[in-house]
Amino acid sequence: MEPSSSAPILVEINDSIARITLNRPEKLNALNPGVLRLLKQEVERLAAAPAGSIRCAVVTGEGKAFVAGADIAAMQNMSPSEANDMAELGHAALDALEHLPFPVIAAVNGFALGGGCELALACDFIYASSRAKFAQPEVKLGIIPGFGGTARLSRRVGIARARELIYTGAMVSAEEAERIGLVNAVFPPDELLPKTLDAARSLSEVSGLAVRAAKQALREGEGHLLPEANAIEKRVFSACFGSEDQIEGMAAFVEKRPPRFNHGT
């Protein structure tokens, strides 16, 4: 069903690609508890779709911001207990996004600050407009990142760079974000969404089952010592065999024809 254009989060699914749009442009798409709850609900709905029916998702923002951060006015007078509840909600929403079985691409069209940067970090790839800006500026508010930024940023760009960005709260350009490995690619503003959707379509053409397995192996192996990560890879690799996609993919290779994947089991 087509979502209401006034909803704070819009979700559309076309040709196996889900597009999630943060839709509070008047608030620069700031994240408050209500938006986080809705994001979690929408992501869980996508996760429950039949295997192979959604093969990639794109997350973007309406207007000039991707997400300019959490709603500070809503957080200003929180007690430590209330702040913990907010952090729990933010982590739950972004963990749900990160654990979607298919790839998720952030199309960062503008400011990705604080919670917005953390939202992008929960995605598999980050593509950015040349106008985009990234920061974890929480120290300037007397707090630290609360939606997974300390862990995800250090895994994305390395611990030394993450320390610098988090301790200083410095804002970086899209080009600098690409240079340090935070962003995968930078495009002119009018090319960002078309290029991101092109990438999503390319991902939807390979075996959906294999991509889900690769994402599982990468996610489960992260943080483990190499022998343990390799054991996870062997288990997930072996489980691909006997699937319809594995049988079709290898038959197509041997027969020198394009594969016809069903992306399911």
**What is the domain range of residue 232?**
207-255
Give the pLDDT confidence score for residue 71 in this predicted structure.
Answer: 84
Give the pLDDT confidence score for residue 265 in this predicted structure.
Answer: 57
Is residue 108 situated within a structural domain? yes
Indicate the residue among 185, 204, 223 that finishes a domain.
204
Is residue 221 situated within a structural domain? yes
What DSSP string runs through 209-230?
HHHHHHHHHHHHHTTS-HHHHH
Whether 108 and 222 share a structural domain: no
Whether 143 and 94 share a structural domain: yes
Whether 136 and 116 share a structural domain: yes
Give the pLDDT confidence score for residue 1 in this predicted structure.
Answer: 37
Give the pLDDT confidence score for residue 68 in this predicted structure.
Answer: 94
Whether 235 and 199 share a structural domain: no
Is residue 1 situated within a structural domain? no
Is residue 114 situated within a structural domain? yes
Whether 219 and 154 share a structural domain: no
Rounded to the nearest 5°, which phi and psi values hold at 262?
-100, -5
Whether 139 and 237 share a structural domain: no
Whether 214 and 92 share a structural domain: no
Is residue 233 situated within a structural domain? yes
Give the pLDDT confidence score for residue 78 in this predicted structure.
Answer: 92
Is residue 2 situated within a structural domain? no
Q: Which helix (H) or strand (E) holds 21?
A: strand 17-22
Whether 121 and 186 share a structural domain: yes
What is the rounded end-to-end Cα distance, in angstroms, of the chain? Answer: 27
CATH code of residue 250: 1.10.12.10
Contact 145, 114 (CB under 8 A): yes
**Active-site residue set:** 118, 138
Give the pLDDT confidence score for residue 51 in this predicted structure.
Answer: 85
Whether 53 and 133 share a structural domain: yes
Instruction: Fill in the DSSP letter of residue 256.
Output: T
Kindly state the tokens that stand for 186: 């930078």
pTM of the model as a whole: 0.93
Give the pLDDT confidence score for residue 3 in this predicted structure.
Answer: 44
β-pair partners for 31: 70
Kindly state the tokens that stand for 75: 């957080």
Is residue 262 situated within a structural domain? no
Distance, in Å, from the CA atom of 41 to the CA atom of 38, rounded to the nearest integer, reads 5
Total domain count, the chain: 2
Per-residue pLDDT tens listing for the chain (265 residues): 344 578 999 999 999 999 999 999 999 999 999 999 999 999 999 999 998 899 999 999 999 999 998 888 888 999 999 999 999 999 999 999 999 999 999 999 999 999 999 999 999 999 999 999 999 999 999 999 999 999 999 999 999 999 999 999 999 999 999 999 999 999 999 999 999 999 999 999 999 999 999 999 999 999 899 999 999 999 999 999 999 999 999 999 999 999 999 876 5
CATH code of residue 25: 3.90.226.10
Whether 191 and 77 share a structural domain: yes
Whether 125 and 220 share a structural domain: no
Is residue 230 situated within a structural domain? yes
Give the pLDDT confidence score for residue 226 in this predicted structure.
Answer: 95
Whether 189 and 218 share a structural domain: no
